[in-house]
Chains A and B, each alone.
Chain A
Amino acid sequence: MVELQEKLRGVVADLLENEKLSYVIGYQAASFGVGTRPLFIRSKEDVKKLVFSPLCSANLVRYLKYRKPEESVGVVVKGCDSRAVVQLIQESGVNREKVKLIGVSCAGVVEAEKVQNMLPEGSSFELVGFDEKKLDFVVDNKKISVNRSEVSLERCSCCEYQTPVVYDVLVGEKRDAAEKYRYSEVEDFEKHSLEERWEFWTAQFEKCIRCYACRNACPLCYCPQCMAELLEPQWLLRSVDSSECGGWNIMRAMHLAGRCIGCGECERACPVDIPLMLLNKKLEKSCLSRFDHKAGLDPKGKPVLAAFNPNDPEEFVMSGEC
């Protein structure tokens, strides 16, 4: 669907000129292999570099916090990305009028490294087309296709919002939710005993190097000073061991409870492959079952932990006379 890319380029070029945007944030080819990376578009030359394909995994919404107050900017958003914008609107973290959202329908992103491993060695790689089932490449003038199912990201296979929930312009056809049940992985894991689950997570947190890539990659972690950096009071010791790292990861997951929109950038950024989305999705499932709430859907809504409803479950409050 190279036409999707062409259409997107046209839309961005128009917006850049007509809306007098300072820049539009999109994607371009990575410096190696088949992946992509962020692109700040300011000119016609820049527009020519813009790409869109299932390899565009980054959530560009995290750059909105760097927008200068006087700037109007545009940003390309997929379904999950657009929910991050809505969540920011709910938290008064973004000035909607200064941001133009270019929504793109997304059937899921793929893991660039997995794709790379399935392609032969070569010096030039070009993605010439893609559809629901496959990605078509030309590697050193030879055509080769990769099955999408073998390289797609787990979290995309159960995505409920493949069409952006908020946008100023939409590129691509509207899409329904993906078919897979969203919480099957979480429910499988829940079947393990408490000891088994604790052992699993202890081993995972042993790998953590407290680089905070998860935090910086997240569009909803925008605190000017993170609780992990504070010394007065000090919530987390800075020494790197399984206990403190466990504290860090669990605290961050809790800070995102009811706010995480499931883009999975934290997991993608993690250099030691901790399955952070498993933690985040567990809390997402809790929030849904307890408060019937999903993050980042209603721009007029309130963040779930900042809103009170008399029907909120209260089984932790003792019933009976005080």
Chain B
Amino acid sequence: MKENVYLPSLARIVDIKLESGGSRPIKTFRLELVDEKKKKEFSYRAGQCVMVGLLGVGESMFALSSNSMVHDFFEVSVMRHGKVTSALHEAEIGDVLSVRGPFGNSFDVESWKGKDLLFVGGGIGQAPLRSVIGFVLDKKNRADFGSIDVLYGASDEGALCFLDELNNISCRDDVNVHLSVDCSSESECQYFVGFVPDNLARLKPDAKNCVAITCGPPVMIKVTIELLESFGFSKDQIFTTLEQRMKCGVGKCGRCNIGGVYVCRDGPVFSAREIEGMQGDF
């Protein structure tokens, strides 16, 4: 009998971290596959996604946000929005979820060796970037890359995710962290107050031998790509990961396409050059 791609594996929640609260809280779920054999065999590359869900509720596609060098568990960071994500936010440690994947392509980190890296993230878009940042900062890999700058911003202080990790990283002398908030409720804000692209403009990035990776709301991605180009980045030096509504994860159900490209199957990682060539609505 041919393998059924829709049949999920089961994974247990081993930890839940509330990253940010507010009306759209974000939680990071640490998951371990229940089946020992599958757990040993499971591997993925930064940029790939998994379908995670609750049996009886449904599943949604999430970017793997953990460091792919670690094999005991994997993590997804979920913003509460609709039916499935609301149900996930109600789940507790020990609950069992359905998991399918990994799906899609990944960041071509091999081709980035020897280059400086610039990460530009906004809101929940930081989740896939966290995976690749974890990979490049991993002690086995750090020496392969030049300078690393991590720009990240959210709507306000309460919405900033992965803050503990980012604060830890910023203490390292081999990476620079630049945080921002769109607007601040504090009288004296410790972060730059303004949109992420404005923070990027302030930084005056050097395009020479640099690769930029950005992810965030569609508008932010468009503005950031334009801004990077104004600083001399070519479209081949800029990478992003796109989001679309997904159901099957394997390019069959027909809903996540941008033109002839299925984001679940041919993406979600694309260079700005590939995006320029796409003819479709997104």
Interface string of A211-255 (1 = CB under 8 A from B): 000000000000000000001100000000000000000000000
For chain B, residues 80 to 128, give those with C-beta under 8 angstroms from any C-beta of chain A. 82-83, 86
| Residues of chain B with a CB closer than 8 A to A231's CB | 82-83
| Residues of chain A with a CB closer than 8 A to B82's CB | 231-232
Question: How extensive is the interface on chain A, given as a class?
Answer: under 10
CA distance A173 to B83 in the complex (A): 56
CA distance A117 to B279 in the complex (A): 44
Shortest Cβ distance from B172 into chain A, in angstroms?
A: 43
| Residues of chain B with a CB closer than 8 A to A232's CB | 82-83, 86
Shortest Cβ distance from A237 into chain B, in angstroms?
A: 12
CA distance A231 to B82 in the complex (A): 9
5 residue pairs A–B, Cβ–Cβ below 8 Å: A231-B82, A231-B83, A232-B82, A232-B83, A232-B86
Shortest Cβ distance from B55 into chain A, in angstroms?
A: 16
In the complex, the chain B residue whose C-beta lies closest to that of A230 is B83
Shortest Cβ distance from B215 into chain A, in angstroms?
A: 26
For chain A, residues 14 to 28, give those with C-beta under 8 angstroms from any C-beta of chain B. none
Q: Is the interface of A mostly helix, strand, loop or mixed?
A: loop
Question: How extensive is the interface on chain B, given as a class?
Answer: under 10
For chain B, residues 53 to 92, give those with C-beta under 8 angstroms from any C-beta of chain A. 82-83, 86
CA distance A232 to B58 in the complex (A): 13
Shortest Cβ distance from B240 into chain A, in angstroms?
A: 29
In the complex, the chain A residue whose C-beta lies closest to that of B83 is A231
In the complex, the chain A residue whose C-beta lies closest to that of B57 is A231
In the complex, the chain B residue whose C-beta lies closest to that of A234 is B83
CA distance A232 to B90 in the complex (A): 15
CA distance A232 to B86 in the complex (A): 10
In the complex, the chain B residue whose C-beta lies closest to that of A232 is B83
Shortest Cβ distance from B120 into chain A, in angstroms?
A: 33
CA distance A56 to B86 in the complex (A): 49
CA distance A44 to B220 in the complex (A): 45
Shortest Cβ distance from A76 into chain B, in angstroms?
A: 33
CA distance A231 to B83 in the complex (A): 7
Shortest Cβ distance from A304 into chain B, in angstroms?
A: 34
In the complex, the chain A residue whose C-beta lies closest to that of B86 is A232
CA distance A115 to B86 in the complex (A): 55
In the complex, the chain B residue whose C-beta lies closest to that of A233 is B83
Shortest Cβ distance from B270 into chain A, in angstroms?
A: 29
Interface string of A85-123 (1 = CB under 8 A from B): 000000000000000000000000000000000000000
Shortest Cβ distance from B246 into chain A, in angstroms?
A: 16
Shortest Cβ distance from B266 into chain A, in angstroms?
A: 27
Shortest Cβ distance from A152 into chain B, in angstroms?
A: 41
CA distance A231 to B247 in the complex (A): 15
| Residues of chain A with a CB closer than 8 A to B86's CB | 232
CA distance A232 to B83 in the complex (A): 6
For chain A, residues 38 to 71, give those with C-beta under 8 angstroms from any C-beta of chain B. none
Shortest Cβ distance from A169 into chain B, in angstroms?
A: 40
Shortest Cβ distance from B264 into chain A, in angstroms?
A: 20
In the complex, the chain A residue whose C-beta lies closest to that of B84 is A231
Interface string of B206-240 (1 = CB under 8 A from A): 00000000000000000000000000000000000
In the complex, the chain A residue whose C-beta lies closest to that of B87 is A232
The 3 closest A-B pairs by CB, nearest first: A231-B83, A232-B83, A231-B82
Shortest Cβ distance from A112 into chain B, in angstroms?
A: 32
CA distance A232 to B80 in the complex (A): 13
| Residues of chain A with a CB closer than 8 A to B83's CB | 231-232
CA distance A232 to B85 in the complex (A): 12
For chain B, residues 115 to 155, give those with C-beta under 8 angstroms from any C-beta of chain A. none
CA distance A42 to B86 in the complex (A): 48
Shortest Cβ distance from A258 into chain B, in angstroms?
A: 32
Shortest Cβ distance from B219 into chain A, in angstroms?
A: 23
